Each structure stands twice: as C-alpha cells, then as structure tokens.
Structure 1
Amino acid sequence: MTKLVTIFGGSGFVGRYVAQRMAAQGWRVRVACRHINDAHWVRLYGVVGQVEPVFCNIRDDASVRTVTAAADAVVNCVGILAESGRQSFEQLQHQGAARIARIAKEEGVARLVQISAIGADANSKSAYARTKALGEKAVLEAFPEAVILRPSIVFGTEDEFFNRFAAMTILSPVIPLVNASVKFQPVWVSDVAHAAELGALGRAKPGIYELGGPDVQTFRGLMQDMLGVIRRRRLILSAPLWLARIMGSAFDLLGKLTFGLIKGPLTRDQVENLAHDNVVHDGVMTFQDLGIEPTAKEAVLPAYLWQYRPSGQYAEITESARNLR
C-alpha cells in the first residue's frame, strides 16, 4: 500500500517543495493548512488524488489528530516571521510543534521531521528564536527519534528575503539594512526540502542538523551580490542596532494602536534576531552528514530575480546588443 505523509504548512514556502519531493517518491501527500481554498494548486504536484490539501488548525488537538491519522510520516513546516492576531510565536512554534509531535507519537507515526531555524535559543531576547528552541525541546520530549532541521536564511523563487529587497530597488535609490555586518549562510529551499525528504523516508539519523549553503556572507555582501544579479546600483545604508530597536518598537506600537491594520517594515523581535550571526556552528550535523552538496546561490538567483532588472527578461539580450555596437 502506498505510504502517506502529512505535511503541516505544506502550501508554504518550504512545505511546497517537501510536498513535491514526497510526491515524486510515490507517496500520498496530505497538505495540512489553514486556508484550504488557497491551496488547491498543490494537487498539481502529483497524479490525480495523490496530493490533497486538508484543513488543519494546529492550535486544536482534534484538528491535528484528524490529519495525522494513518500517516507513516509527518513533516512540520509551520513557522512565522512576525506575529499577527492569534498567530503568535508561542501558539505556533512552541505549542503547535509540541501538539504535532505528541499526537504523531500517539497515532503511531513512524517518522517526524521538524523544520526549525539556526539561532533557536531558549534564552534569546527574540520570541521567534526562543519559541523555536522551546518547540524543538517539546518535539524531542514527545518524539525522541525526530529529525530537526535548522536552516539559515532560506532563498528560492518565492522567498521573502531577496525578493523583498530586489523589489525595493525598483522605487528606492537606497537599501536600508539593520546591522549590515551580521553574517548569513543562505541555503536553497530545494536543498532544505531534500533534507526533509530524507528524514521522512528514514534515511537520516535522528537528531538536529544545521543547514547552510556553501558560502558565509555579511548582510551587506548579500545585497551587493543581489544588486549585481539585477543589474542595478543602489546605496546600502546600515542602521545601528540601538536605532533599529527604537524603530522596531515604534512600528510594533503602531501595529497595536491600529489593531494590526498598519504593519511596519520591521519588528523589535526581528531586530533582536539580526543582532547575531545566522551561520552553521562547529561540531553539529550538517548537509554533509546527509550526503547533500548544498547549492550556491549564484546558480539560482538569476532564475527568479531577473524580473527586477531594468530590462527584465531581456537584460542579457540588451547587453549583448550594446556590446555589438
């Protein structure tokens, strides 16, 4: 009988790539998400009936149990970068992860993969990092043989990192950054999904893996590379952490006063995350332990950032014609 995997957050950025890979392996795929009417496109990842979006609220035991029943493997990709209403870090990244792991064990699920993040720290000033760590702890307590993946900043066609800053260059002559010297180790979303696939298939040793791409760069360096890809020149300005904390707090207050109607470009919590390097640590399991060679961003960025070039998809043709003159 064909095996079944339930992917929580399977219509999100990372989750959709995990769904594609598991469908390619011949598994039936349940894509558990909050907005099922916006996720029907996931059916295209497999043959008729192979990939199905199903409603799930991970804040509710019964809802999680319904979509977990009969699953051979579970992958939890749920995570948020900023809180909104009832979608809080505590409810989703800590309590939600704990609930999924506990119910998966109770339902007899064989394998569990949890997508976390580099920087997860129970003592962090950041609620994002703190709840990621608490979620990991709860998962391992309920499901000790789980595979936990901690990626650095994830990039890919639908990312909210390079796309966000590239879009900014269309209207602004300046790229504002917070702590431009902070270091990242960007990792391609497909490589993260590959690691999750190995975990779901039982081909990864249980434990925590930190996932980073082949290069470590500063925030400023990443923006400079991005500008090179999109053929634009922009001034990169870096705000010091003390100023960014004030700005983040002000934007948070504005959001509360408007009941979430106005959202600032930055939160205080995001500033706290930018105070620390986001790179793979020494002495941990990595892509190498999974037999995966991470993909360099240079091989991927041009494939989706071309839309931000002054000449769009015709930029290279335009440049070639200019060289012929």
Structure 2
Amino acid sequence: MSRRTADAVAWLETNPALEELAEAFPDEWVRVRRGLDALIARDDAEEIKAYITRVSQPEAALPGRSRSRRDRLLAEVRRQMSVAVLKREILSATTGVSEGRVRFNLINGYVAQRLLFRRGLERKPVRMGVFRAVWPLLGQRRLLMPLVQRRGIWCFYSKPLITRLARLIGDRSCLEIAAGDGTLSRFLARAGVRIVATDDHSWSDSIEFPESVLRQDARAALRAHAPEVVICSWPPAGNDFERHVFTTESVRLYVVIGSKHRESTGDWAAYERQDGFTMTADDDLGRLVLPPEVEHAVYVFRRRT
C-alpha cells in the first residue's frame, strides 16, 4: 500500500471509483473478484441477499473492531469494491447499458421531465391518471431510476399518496427522518400536516439540502421533537437509526416507504425485534408510490395499546 493508513482512510471517504481502488489495492481487487465469482457460481439467492445487506454497511459499523486498523482499512476497501461492482451490474441489468453514459433521448427526457418534475430535479406530486396514460409510452422508462438515484431520488410520490398519508397522520405532530432533499415533507406540509424534516446530511455529495431540512441525525431528532408520527422514505438497508423510532415513547405511528425486497431498504432486524408496534404492509399505499417497476412498499407500524 503506497499511502499511510491514515491517508488511505481519508481517501476512501471521498468514494473513489472502482478503477482507482483496483489500482491502489490490486491484491484486494483479486480477492473481491474471486469472492464474487464464487458467490455467483453457487447461485444461492439467500446468500446473495445476505451479502448485499452486509456490504451495504460501512466497515466501521460492523463487528470485529479488535482487528488492527490496517485490517479494518483493507476490509473497507473490499467492501467499497464490492458495492461498486454491484452498482454497475444493477445499472446494466436495469438499463441494458453496460458501457458509456446512460441518458434519455430528447423525447423521453422531455416527457419524463414534464410528468415528474416541476423544474430541474425538483419533484412534484404526480397525477396518477396522467401517469398511467403516459408512462407506458416511454420507451426508455427503465433508465429513469438509475439516472436519478445518483442524486438521492429513490421514488416519486403521487397526489393520491400524499392525500392518503395526510389523512393517516391527521393533526398529530410528524417528523421525517433521513428526509434527503425534503420533498415528501414539503408535499405533506402543503396538505396540512404539521411536519418537520430532518437529515444528518451525510449524502451532501449527491443531495442539495434546503434550509427546511434540519441537520439532525434520527436519534437526536426524535429526542428533540418527540413526535407522535414518524415517516421515512427509503431508509438505507441495515441502517442503525430506525431502531430508535421504536424506543421513542411519544411515537404512536411509524410509516416507512421502501421496497418489497428486504435487501433493498430498511432495518428489518429492528422491525422484527421490536414488539411494541404492529406492522402492516399497506398494498394500496404501495401502489401509489412511483414508478411501479421498482416494486415499492409502504409499511405501517402502529403502537400497541
């Protein structure tokens, strides 16, 4: 390793490209390739899901801190390499583009912009009737999510979804955690919900955080605001903050917008470990999260009486 360990740790925090990682750590790149080849050869769906969940967490969040700093560094290098490979494979499988830049053509880009955005990448509540009529006509619709996810956009919210969520929350105080650019809170506030948007701003390299999104991690936000309702849209898989929702006494309702696939989003260990709330997958609400190809899901947790 050409860099001192401390310099290498700082370098990894800049999220270097796969090619840079492979060049700086060739031995680790060989290990990662061999491991992935063996994983694919075994073709075990559960093992692959477990692998994806594991590499979604930074090395510092995993057990085994008794190892040397160098060993932890190399483990984090291998993790970042694995994530980079998986992202490329998912992009290729989703878009059919394995090389070069992924982009809409002029017509598809114009229609998608008018359908989903107010201006730039500012999302708007989507009219379901128009969406159902126009969306199937877009020949490049599978390119949409790979293009916008790099800017922290994981879904789009329909007008009926916002109406239903506002009705579910009612006049209770509401807190959005991991709010990103605050789009969901902005829509709900316009629908009359008393809501505060918070985020720890850890994704500042890809998300532009407006002043309306308070810089607070989830645990601090829960303590500071003592909300009756909490909402979170696409929490990262295996995150370490959702568990605090279930131990906050003021919370009566928790709504998670995520995926039908456990390995994609949410702290499922916390969901299944807690016993203070009932958990329901609301399929009607899930169908109102767009686009449908992503297989969104909405999970509703209600405190037991």
Report the TM range for the smaller structure's normalisation: 0.3 to 0.5
Q: 1 or 2 for the larger relative contact order (CA 8 Å, sep ≥6)? A: 1
